[in-house]
Protein backbone atom coordinates (compact mmCIF):
# COMPACT_ATOMS: atom_id res chain seq x y z
CA UNK A 1 0.00 0.00 0.00
CA UNK A 2 2.63 2.46 1.09
CA UNK A 3 4.84 1.69 -1.88
CA UNK A 4 1.97 2.21 -4.29
CA UNK A 5 1.13 5.59 -2.78
CA UNK A 6 4.73 6.70 -3.21
CA UNK A 7 4.59 5.61 -6.82
CA UNK A 8 1.47 7.69 -7.34
CA UNK A 9 3.14 10.70 -5.72
CA UNK A 10 6.14 10.28 -7.99
CA UNK A 11 3.90 10.01 -11.02
CA UNK A 12 2.22 13.32 -10.12
CA UNK A 13 5.20 15.68 -10.54
CA UNK A 14 6.36 13.64 -13.51
CA UNK A 15 3.05 14.17 -15.25
CA UNK A 16 3.15 17.90 -14.51
CA UNK A 17 6.70 18.10 -15.83
CA UNK A 18 5.57 16.37 -19.00
CA UNK A 19 2.73 18.88 -19.38
CA UNK A 20 5.15 21.76 -18.85
CA UNK A 21 7.50 20.34 -21.44
CA UNK A 22 4.59 20.04 -23.89
CA UNK A 23 3.52 23.62 -23.17
CA UNK A 24 7.08 24.82 -23.72
CA UNK A 25 7.22 22.96 -27.03
CA UNK A 26 3.88 24.45 -28.09
CA UNK A 27 5.08 27.96 -27.20
CA UNK A 28 8.29 27.39 -29.11
CA UNK A 29 6.30 26.24 -32.15
CA UNK A 30 4.08 29.34 -31.98
CA UNK A 31 7.07 31.64 -31.72
CA UNK A 32 8.55 29.94 -34.77
CA UNK A 33 5.35 30.51 -36.77
CA UNK A 34 5.24 34.18 -35.82
CA UNK A 35 8.81 34.60 -36.95
CA UNK A 36 8.06 33.01 -40.34
CA UNK A 37 4.96 35.22 -40.74
CA UNK A 38 6.92 38.34 -39.84
CA UNK A 39 9.50 37.56 -42.50
CA UNK A 40 6.75 37.46 -45.17
CA UNK A 41 5.04 40.60 -43.86
CA UNK A 42 8.19 42.67 -43.87
CA UNK A 43 9.45 41.50 -47.26
CA UNK A 44 10.05 44.56 -49.40
CA UNK A 45 8.91 45.17 -52.94
CA UNK A 46 5.84 46.39 -54.78
CA UNK A 47 2.45 45.49 -53.25
CA UNK A 48 -0.96 45.93 -54.86
CA UNK A 49 -3.99 46.84 -52.76
CA UNK A 50 -7.50 47.11 -54.25
CA UNK A 51 -10.27 49.16 -52.64
CA UNK A 52 -12.87 46.48 -53.39
CA UNK A 53 -12.84 42.94 -54.73
CA UNK A 54 -16.24 42.87 -56.44
CA UNK A 55 -18.94 44.88 -58.17
CA UNK A 56 -22.36 43.24 -58.20
CA UNK A 57 -24.65 45.50 -60.21
CA UNK A 58 -27.80 43.46 -59.70
CA UNK A 59 -30.46 44.04 -62.37
CA UNK A 60 -29.39 46.27 -65.25
CA UNK A 61 -31.94 47.24 -67.93
CA UNK A 62 -30.97 46.50 -71.53
CA UNK A 63 -29.14 49.34 -73.19
CA UNK A 64 -28.22 51.01 -69.87
CA UNK A 65 -24.49 51.58 -69.35
CA UNK A 66 -23.07 51.30 -65.82
CA UNK A 67 -19.52 52.51 -65.16
CA UNK A 68 -17.57 50.84 -62.36
CA UNK A 69 -14.12 51.56 -60.99
CA UNK A 70 -11.61 49.59 -58.95
CA UNK A 71 -8.95 51.75 -57.28
CA UNK A 72 -5.49 50.17 -57.36
CA UNK A 73 -2.83 51.35 -54.89
CA UNK A 74 0.82 50.46 -54.48
CA UNK A 75 1.24 49.90 -50.73
CA UNK A 76 4.74 48.47 -51.19
CA UNK A 77 8.11 50.18 -51.06
CA UNK A 78 9.17 49.98 -54.72
CA UNK A 79 7.48 50.75 -58.07
CA UNK A 80 4.47 48.60 -59.01
CA UNK A 81 4.02 47.70 -62.68
CA UNK A 82 0.57 46.64 -63.84
CA UNK A 83 1.42 44.18 -66.57
CA UNK A 84 -2.08 43.14 -67.58
CA UNK A 85 -5.70 43.90 -66.70
CA UNK A 86 -8.74 42.44 -68.44
CA UNK A 87 -12.19 40.98 -67.90
CA UNK A 88 -12.75 37.31 -68.74
CA UNK A 89 -16.22 35.84 -69.27
CA UNK A 90 -17.37 33.44 -66.55
CA UNK A 91 -21.04 33.64 -67.47
CA UNK A 92 -22.87 35.46 -70.25
CA UNK A 93 -21.07 37.26 -73.06
CA UNK A 94 -19.14 40.30 -74.28
CA UNK A 95 -16.57 41.15 -71.59
CA UNK A 96 -16.19 44.93 -71.21
CA UNK A 97 -12.80 46.36 -72.20
CA UNK A 98 -10.55 47.46 -69.32
CA UNK A 99 -9.53 51.11 -69.04
CA UNK A 100 -6.44 51.51 -66.91
CA UNK A 101 -5.32 54.94 -65.67
CA UNK A 102 -1.62 54.13 -65.68
CA UNK A 103 0.57 51.04 -65.71
CA UNK A 104 3.28 52.25 -63.31
CA UNK A 105 2.69 53.23 -59.70
CA UNK A 106 5.24 54.70 -57.32
CA UNK A 107 4.95 53.62 -53.67
CA UNK A 108 1.78 55.18 -52.27
CA UNK A 109 0.32 56.05 -55.69
CA UNK A 110 -3.19 55.05 -56.84
CA UNK A 111 -4.73 54.52 -60.26
CA UNK A 112 -8.11 53.46 -61.58
CA UNK A 113 -9.30 50.40 -63.45
CA UNK A 114 -12.60 51.19 -65.19
CA UNK A 115 -15.18 49.03 -66.91
CA UNK A 116 -18.43 49.93 -68.66
CA UNK A 117 -21.10 47.28 -68.22
CA UNK A 118 -23.59 47.60 -71.06
CA UNK A 119 -25.67 44.86 -72.66
CA UNK A 120 -28.11 45.02 -75.55
CA UNK A 121 -31.60 43.54 -75.68
CA UNK A 122 -30.25 40.30 -77.20
CA UNK A 123 -28.05 39.69 -74.11
CA UNK A 124 -30.66 39.08 -71.42
CA UNK A 125 -29.61 37.11 -68.33
CA UNK A 126 -26.78 36.85 -65.85
CA UNK A 127 -23.31 38.10 -66.72
CA UNK A 128 -20.21 37.47 -64.63
CA UNK A 129 -16.64 38.51 -65.38
CA UNK A 130 -13.39 37.49 -63.77
CA UNK A 131 -11.26 40.63 -63.69
CA UNK A 132 -7.63 39.56 -63.89
CA UNK A 133 -4.92 41.99 -62.74
CA UNK A 134 -1.32 40.89 -63.25
CA UNK A 135 1.47 42.93 -61.65
CA UNK A 136 5.01 42.62 -60.35
CA UNK A 137 3.59 42.36 -56.79
CA UNK A 138 6.21 40.64 -54.65
CA UNK A 139 3.76 38.23 -53.01
CA UNK A 140 0.63 37.91 -55.19
CA UNK A 141 1.47 38.61 -58.86
CA UNK A 142 -2.07 37.90 -60.08
CA UNK A 143 -5.35 38.83 -58.43
CA UNK A 144 -8.94 38.15 -59.45
CA UNK A 145 -11.82 40.60 -58.97
CA UNK A 146 -15.47 40.09 -59.84
CA UNK A 147 -17.82 42.15 -61.99
CA UNK A 148 -21.35 40.87 -62.42
CA UNK A 149 -24.90 41.85 -63.19
CA UNK A 150 -28.15 40.53 -64.58
CA UNK A 151 -29.23 42.06 -67.85
CA UNK A 152 -32.96 42.61 -68.24
CA UNK A 153 -34.94 42.69 -71.48
CA UNK A 154 -37.15 45.58 -72.50
Residues lying near Cu ion in the complex (CB under 5 A) are found at 92-94, 119, 123
Burial group, residue 1, by CB count within 10 angstroms (0-12, 13-18, 19+): exposed
Q: Decide whether 46 or 92 has the Cβ nearer to Cu ion.
A: 92
Minimum distance of Cu ion from residue 89's CB (angstroms): 8
Residue of minimal Cβ distance to Cu ion: 123
Minimum distance of Cu ion from residue 90's CB (angstroms): 12
Minimum distance of Cu ion from residue 94's CB (angstroms): 4
Distance CA 54, CA 117 (A): 13
Q: Decide whether 50 or 123 has the Cβ nearer to Cu ion.
A: 123
Which residues, other chains included, contact 135 with Cβ-Cβ below 8 Å and sequence gap of 6+? 46, 48, 80, 81, 82, 83, 141, 142, 143
Q: Decide whether 45 or 125 has the Cβ nearer to Cu ion.
A: 125
Amino acid sequence: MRGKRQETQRAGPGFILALMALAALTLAACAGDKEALAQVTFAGGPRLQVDRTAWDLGNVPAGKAVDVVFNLTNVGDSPLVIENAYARVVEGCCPPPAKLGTTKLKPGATTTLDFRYSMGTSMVGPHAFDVVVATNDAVEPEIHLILKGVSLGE
